[in-house]
Structure formats: C-alpha cells, structure tokens
Amino acid sequence: MTRRPFLLLLLSLWLAPAFAADTAPLAPEGDTGRYTLSAAQGEQAMVVTANPHATEAALAMLRAGGSAIDAAIAAQAVLGLVEPQSSGFGGGAFLVYHDGKRIRSFDGRETAPAAAREDRFLDRDGAPLPFHAAVASGRGIGVPGVLAALHAAHRQHGRLPFADTLAPAIRLARDGFAISPRLHELIARDPLLRGNAGTRAYFFTPDGTPLPAGHVLRNPAYAATLATLARDGAQALYRGPLARELIAALNAQGADFTARDWRRYRPRVSAALCAPYRRWEVCSAPPPSGGWTVLQTLRLLDGFTPTDSRARNLHRLLEAERLAFADRQRYSADPAFIPVPLEGLLSPGYVAARRLLIGGKSLQVAPAGIPPGLRKPWGDDGQLLENGTTHLSIVDARGHWLSMTSSIEDAFGSRVMAGGMLFNNQLTDFSFLPREKGRLLANRVAPGKRPRSAMAPVIVRDATGRPVLATGSPGGSRIIGYVLHTLVASLDEGLAPAEVVALPLVLSRNGPTEFDSDFPPALKTELEAFGQVFKAGDLNSGIGLIRRHDGRLQGAADPRREGRAAGY
C-alpha cells in the first residue's frame, strides 16, 4: 500500500464520526436568514455583487471610466477578502462578456496537477472517500484560474491600469473590514476551520472562539500578495517568487503541484454558447460549465406555450430540469478530454424526442438520453458534491455586459490559506469513482483536466442582438435550477429583478422536487397532483440579476445573502 492512500484512509476514519450521515453538505454555505433586499435603477451602469464592499469597489472603477471587466477585477479582489467562504484568486470562474457586438466566454476553471490520477479520491479498498476527508487532505486543490481569466479579459477589454483595479482591495486588506453577521455564523458552523493552523489563527481568537460580527479583520498577507500582483502583473501568481511561495505552502498542506503545473495554466477564451429561447437568445459558458444544461432545459421548455396555470408551467419546468440533469450527469465534462456531444444534445430532433417524455405526471427520475453524434456510452454519475461560489453581474456606461460566477468550491474551500488567500478544493468536483457499473465516467480525474461545474453565468439578448438581462447564482449543483428559475420568471412571467430574486425557490436535480420553506402550500398541493414528490431543502441561492427595461437598468441582489445592487 502506498503512503498517500494510507494517510487518506486515516484522515477519513478520523473525520468519519462528524460526517457519517452524509458525504457532502448539500448547502455549502448554508442559510443564515434573509437580509434586506437590495434593488437599484440606473441610466448608465449597474453592479450587483454578493457584498456591499465589492459593489462599492466595482462602482468606483466604473465612475473612473473603467469597463465592466475593470469593475469585475476590483469586485473579485474584494470578495476574496470579505466573502472568503465563497470565492477568490485561489479559485476559478466562468465569465461571459458582451462587448457591444459579440459575447465571449472566459473559462478560468481550475486544472488538476500532472500528479493527479483517477484513484485520487478512493481509499485503499477502492471506495470513495468521505467528502470532507477529501477536502481536508489538500488533494482537492486545483491550479487556480480566476485571475488568469480576468487578466485575459482585461487585456481585451480593460480601460484602467490593472494595478488600479486592485487598489480598493489592498486598502481594505490593510485597514481592515468589519466581519459581517453571515461570515461570523459560517465561521462558527464550520467543522474544519479550526483544524488548520492558518485558518484557525485568522478566523478565531487564541482561545478558539470564532471572531464576532463587527470585529475589524485585517489581512496584511493578502495586501502584500495583491501589491505584488499590482506591481508585477497577474502572471506573478503563476510564475516567479510569489508562485513558488504559494506552491510550497500548498504542497506542505497535502497538495502535489509542480511549478510547471502553474506555469502551463491558460484560460480558455471562446465564443459563448448560445441557443434560442422563445424570442430571445440565451448565452452562457461552454463545458465544463453548466451553461449547456440550462440551454437544453430551455429548449425542452420552448416547445410548450405558457398557460394560465402556474402549477402546470412549473411542472413542465421541473420535468425539463430532470431530463436535462440526467444528460448532464452522463455527458458533462472537460471537452478537451472528453467529446461532449453538444451539437446532438441541443439539436432540435433530439430535444423534441426528449420533450415527448414530459407528460401530465412526473417522471420523478428521468433516464439519460442517447444524442446523435455520441461516440462512447459513458456511465451515469450520481455524484452531487459540487458546492461553492459567488456571482456578479455588471453593466458599464459603454453598454458592455458581464456575468461571472466564481468559486472556491466548498465553503472556505480547502481551508488552506497561502498569501492571505483561501484556496479551492475544486478537484472534488470530479467524480470520485472513475467507473460506474463497468462504464467509465466522463468526469473522472485526469492530469490537466478541468472538473465539471454547474456554474452558469448567463447573458440574454433580444431579437435585435441587444443584451437585456445578465444573471447567475451560487449554489453548487443547484445553480442550474436557480438560473432557470430566474430566466423563466424574468422572460416568461416578465417580473422585475426585485420580484424575481425574492420568489420562493423550487427545482429538481432529477430526484425529489426541492423547495424553499416559504414555498406556497397551495401551489405545492397543485404540483403534487402532477405527481411531484417534494423534499424540503436549504435552498441558499445568491442570484445577481440585471435587466434592461424601458431604457433603464434594473438590478437586484438575492436577499438570501448580503449582496448589494447599485447603479447610476
């Protein structure tokens, strides 16, 4: 037996009492209550992020003449400080950007190191490790990509010097910020933060008490890292002294990077993936993002005319979600390694055949289909361990639109800090098992591969090609359902952003119908008549929504988190 599986086995046994009941937290950050709904209107520009500090930083860039990309860099740098449980330069992102003519995708998803093998998350008996054992091992950390993606977008669309976009976060890290009630509660709940010396020293008092809400938290190490990036450029994260320091710190905590793993990282820049829906065009990021599953669901739904019955409309949406999610669990993976049959999955004939399965009674669990062009019969992956995440939507005064979903995966990621940043555990988004019932899984681990993601940032255009909506959400594998809920409420029902983000949530990940505690009982009863079987869930979305309506921009931040919308 090799040393690594033995150590991971010991770790899994140590963590087993705490996590025996389930293999992953279904709500990675958890519900910390409702916050005051933030909504705004503006004539020229709009920002929606998950934290007021980040929104202010983004607005400052826009007021200084910056682009939506400049604003996004500033917001992300701040979010990594004030919302460290969700995202940061130690993680990855998918970004779609409308530059006034076309929509481009910037894929900053993390990659597995060269040392990664398909048994990475298996114990010595070939069984999958408990989720948090895999997280705490350090083997879930992937090469971070969000900064590389933002830097690539900045080279094309930035208007301010890169150093200027980091200035708000540097000041805030040096001067400190007040810990929010949400951050305090999530620190107090987390069972792994105390187990790592770096996070224990940063988030707790010397006697192990979680730092209270209102405590002014300073992060000089993060300020120093950002100052290096401001001076030397974003590439300093991937090569040179800073990169070597970060790699050494992460490897000391169980990662297995080489300098070459980081030096070779490149974001993927391509056309966005778009598909028609009714009288609009909906665009998102290509695989391995969850965008194609959103588009397939909409294409399934597009064959139905909305009725006066909200229950019937929701039933059809839930059934379409089941069918698309079944395909997602079989076919979604990194297209550089696995031939994802996108053309077949989104083709009119295949979608029409799948739509015939949507009837008056729920399928409850839908089978995956066999799209045209399929070259290999992959196995069905039942894993739903993806967590994560924050979302920001931005429109600048030049009419450029940005939608970006960014993540470090689990709440507080790997719980490993280096350079003042928390690093991701995104490699646990890979399928822990490489095979299921004798068939290889498309999303199995491989060196250099990007794990499947549910992140699905969206920009919608009208028939003239003008953007009318930008949205996305955190929420792990529920992201797909959250984004669909937002699109259907906005496009089919015509609701304003403030109305949309406050709606009770309901979705299906090809299993029970999951619903918010405030979901209307009468509507639930109507859906049960369609055969929908309900399961209460902690549906902690974080929708960031901007709509152009009657010549004005409207923005709203999900009240389930502490976000803020602001514009001018």
Any idea which residues carry the catalytic annotation?
A: 389
Residue 45 to residues 62, 166, 179, 395: CA-CA distances in angstroms? 8, 20, 28, 5
Reduce the DSSP state of residue 42 to 3 states and report it.
Answer: strand
Question: CB pairs under 8 A, 24+ apart, for 482-486?
Answer: 482/507, 482/539, 482/541, 482/543, 483/290, 483/294, 483/456, 483/458, 484/294, 484/297, 484/298, 484/317, 484/321, 486/543, 486/545
In the 8-state DSSP scheme, what is residue 406?
A: E
Give the DSSP letter of residue 477: G
Name the residue with tokens 């330069």: 89
- Is residue 140 within 8 Å of 414, Cβ to Cβ? yes
Beta carbons of 49 and 63 less than 8 angstroms apart: no
Residue whose C-alpha is closest to residue 43's, from 557, 465, 397, 392: 397
* Residue 489 DSSP class: I
- What's the alpha-carbon Rg for the chain, to the nearest Å? 22
The count of C-alpha atoms lying within 13 angstroms of the C-alpha of 423, restricted to the half-sphere facing its C-beta, is 27
- The single residue listed with the structure tokens 């933002």 is 150
Rounded CA-CA distance 112/90 in Å is 14
Rounded CA-CA distance 319/533 in Å is 12
Q: Which amino acid is at 349?
A: G
Whole-angstrom distance, CA of residue 154 vs CA of residue 156: 5
